[in-house]
Amino acid sequence: MFCPECGTENPDGARFCGNCRYELNALNETPTDNHSNDVIEVDQGESTVTDGMKYGILAASVFIPFIGLIMGIIYLAQNESEEKKEVGKLWLYGSLGIMVVYFLISGDL
Ligand SMILES: [Zn+2]
């Protein structure tokens, strides 16, 4: 092989250049352990449980007040007695309160 430093031809396997003592073996060494096959870590998505809880709370925050609103409208629409109107108002206010509570809870998560 030829010395990369001075161009002098040296026998294969020579450790140093015969002319300039350049270390030839340093170039012959092949990088054997470059750790190119490291395991690629896959994101397992551990936040699926909390996401499920969030979706459940969001669904509840939609459906429970929705049922409350329907119940309140039904009671108010019947227009039979003041007592039933009061119950309808309770449903409406209760559903609105539950809605606010659920939004606050879902905001904290
Ligand atoms: Zn040389």
19 C-alpha vs ligand 1 centroid, how far in Å? 5
Q: Is residue 22 part of a domain?
A: no
Is the pTM of the predicted complex or chain greater than 0.85?
Answer: no
Question: End-to-end distance of the chain based on CA atoms, in angstroms?
Answer: 68
Q: Is residue 18 part of a domain?
A: no
Q: Is residue 9 part of a domain?
A: no
20 C-alpha vs ligand 1 centroid, how far in Å? 4
31 C-alpha vs ligand 1 centroid, how far in Å? 23
52 C-alpha vs ligand 1 centroid, how far in Å? 69
CA distance 83 to 77: 13
> What pLDDT score was predicted for residue 6?
95
34 C-alpha vs ligand 1 centroid, how far in Å? 28
Residue 51's Cβ-count burial label (10 Å; 0-12, 13-18, 19+) is exposed
82 C-alpha vs ligand 1 centroid, how far in Å? 108
Q: Is residue 54 part of a domain?
A: yes
Task: Give the total number of structural domains in the chain.
Answer: 1
The encoded tokens of residue 19 equal: 């002319």
> What pLDDT score was predicted for residue 43?
61
Q: Is residue 71 part of a domain?
A: yes
Q: How many CB atoms lie within 10 A of CB 3?
A: 20
pLDDT profile of the chain (109 residues), mean per 10: 92 91 70 54 60 76 79 80 82 83 72
> What pLDDT score was predicted for residue 7?
93
Domain containing 70 equals 48-108
2 C-alpha vs ligand 1 centroid, how far in Å? 8
33 C-alpha vs ligand 1 centroid, how far in Å? 28
Q: Is residue 17 part of a domain?
A: no
CA distance 38 to 54: 36
> What pLDDT score was predicted for residue 82?
82
